[in-house]
Amino acid sequence: MRKTILHMDLDTFFVSCERLLDSRLNNRPVLIGGTSDRGVVAACSYEARVYGIHSAMPMKMARLLCPGAVVIRGDSGTYSKFSDMVTEIVKERAPVFEKSSIDEFYVDITGMDRFVQTSYLWSRELREKILKETHLPISFGLSTSKTVSKVGTGEAKPNNHIEIPEGNEMPFLAPLSIKKIPMVGDKTYHKLRSMGVEKIRTVQEMPVELMERVLGKNGTVIWKKAQGIDNTPVVAWSERKSISSERTFEKDTTDVIKLRSLLVAMAENLCYQLRNGNKLTACVTVKIRYSDFQTYTKQKRIPYTSLDHTLIAVVLDLFEKMYERRVLIRLIGVCFSYLVGGTYQIRLFEDSEKLIKLYQAMDLVRNRYGQSAVKRAIGMGATTIGGMNPFNGQTPIIPAH
């Protein structure tokens, strides 16, 4: 049985949330992000895109392109609440769904035609329910794979829907730009354009061996996606997925400097793992086990993020509120939970372009030379943090120093 995959995407999500809170923003060019000249655009309305504005553009440049735009700092906490509202509606009705980002969902509705009139009708009803209950515009694409459905959603926008029936995947994709295929970034796009490849049709007609020779394994994946072939499953979403790190000391300690250093190193490593896995967390937990084996935890819900300086501050704050001085500690730990997919890596509403580039550069160095290649001075003592995939829910084994 061929799969039936629904992809749903909330249109200009941050802008749509702001317009629900203030109707005066309707039909006006809106920019959301850092409000200073050093800030960047986190999101922009369709009216602003007409001027050539796009996300991650320096706010100063965006203002020059569109002087009449309304600039809003943004509130990730508000956006997280709206995202949760949509998630609950999808969760209530969908047999299997994956929340791939704060505003994006995949639903596997294979076999639903046995219970409903058509999968397309069921998808339209789900979209209408979301529109009615949240008033957030949302588009969807329905096809036989994640890739084709996601591309379909992009073509259906704004606030619309499309079905690509089985057998029509290649004709649908053929006239579109090669950049429409997920995972074709700027570098890959320019490389393909230098080869004379502009439309997906050209890749469809190329031998897979040529794509592999030019782009390696990614070339094979892109070639398959161009044919409409994508067997990637919808991974059942669980709100309680988490990553964590713990340290049991060989000798119980009250060395606060050592404890803080270790907590920072743990949080920094977990943040890197979040960004490297395109994940965001909405809950921070700190764990302390004293020498008498009494164990305490304290947690805090936060807006979705994956940023070192934001999460480290929360970790240290929770530790200070929970730590009983002069009592020996046997174990400490940090856990990030309520994970969702998220492709943006930085707090665009508050951070400058300079800070964004710093994070990207730090992660690039870590990817090339290892997780310990770049770290904060306060965490330098914890040299053995990290070393395994955190998304399996396992606690890393960390030798005591």
Cα atoms in the 13 Å half-sphere on the side-chain side of 165: 1
- What is the pLDDT, as a whole number, of residue 7? 97
- What is the pLDDT, as a whole number, of residue 361? 73
Whether 12 and 76 share a structural domain: yes
Q: For position 301, which CATH number holds?
A: 3.30.1490.100
Q: What would the mean pLDDT of 31-59 be, rounded to a whole number?
A: 88
Q: Domain boundary at 117, 139, 166, which?
A: 166
Domain count, the chain: 3
**pLDDT at 34 exceeding the cut of 70:** yes
- What is the pLDDT, as a whole number, of residue 141? 97
Whether 84 and 154 share a structural domain: yes
Which residues form the domain of 208?
A: 171-227
**Residue 391 covered by a domain:** no
Where does the pLDDT of residue 287 fall: very low under 50, low under 70, confident under 90, or very high at 90 and above? very high
Question: Identity (one letter) of the amino acid at 11?
Answer: D
Q: Which residues sit in the known binding site? A: 9, 103
Whether 188 and 154 share a structural domain: no
Q: Which residues sit in the known binding site for Mg(2+)? A: 9, 103
Q: Domain boundary at 166, 192, 214, which?
A: 166
Measured between alpha carbons, how far is 392 from 138 in angstroms, rounded to an integer? 32
324 noted as active-site residue: no
**Residue 400 covered by a domain:** no
Whether 125 and 196 share a structural domain: no
Q: What would the mean pLDDT of 39-51 be, rounded to a whole number?
A: 92
Structure tokens at 298: 């304290």
Whether 185 and 124 share a structural domain: no
Q: For position 220, which CATH number holds?
A: 1.10.150.20
Q: Among 18, 47, 98, 104, which one carries the catalytic annotation?
A: 104
Whether 260 and 179 share a structural domain: no
**Residue 399 covered by a domain:** no
Q: For position 158, which CATH number holds?
A: 3.30.70.270
Whether 274 and 359 share a structural domain: yes
**Residue 398 covered by a domain:** no
Which of 63-72, 182-191, 202-211, 220-229 has the least mean pLDDT? Answer: 182-191
Residues near 276 by beta carbon (within 8 Å), at least 6 away in sequence: 363, 366, 367
**Residue 199 covered by a domain:** yes
Task: State the pairing for strand pair 5-10/138-143.
Answer: antiparallel
**Residue 392 covered by a domain:** no
Whether 121 and 251 share a structural domain: no
Whether 81 and 219 share a structural domain: no
Specify whether the CB–CB gap between 3 and 144 falls below 8 A. yes
**pLDDT at 333 exceeding the cut of 90:** yes
**Residue 236 covered by a domain:** no
- CA nearest neighbour of 136 among 182, 111, 105: 105
Whether 107 and 250 share a structural domain: no
Whether 341 and 201 share a structural domain: no
Whether 157 and 183 share a structural domain: no
Q: Domain boundary at 151, 166, 181, which?
A: 166
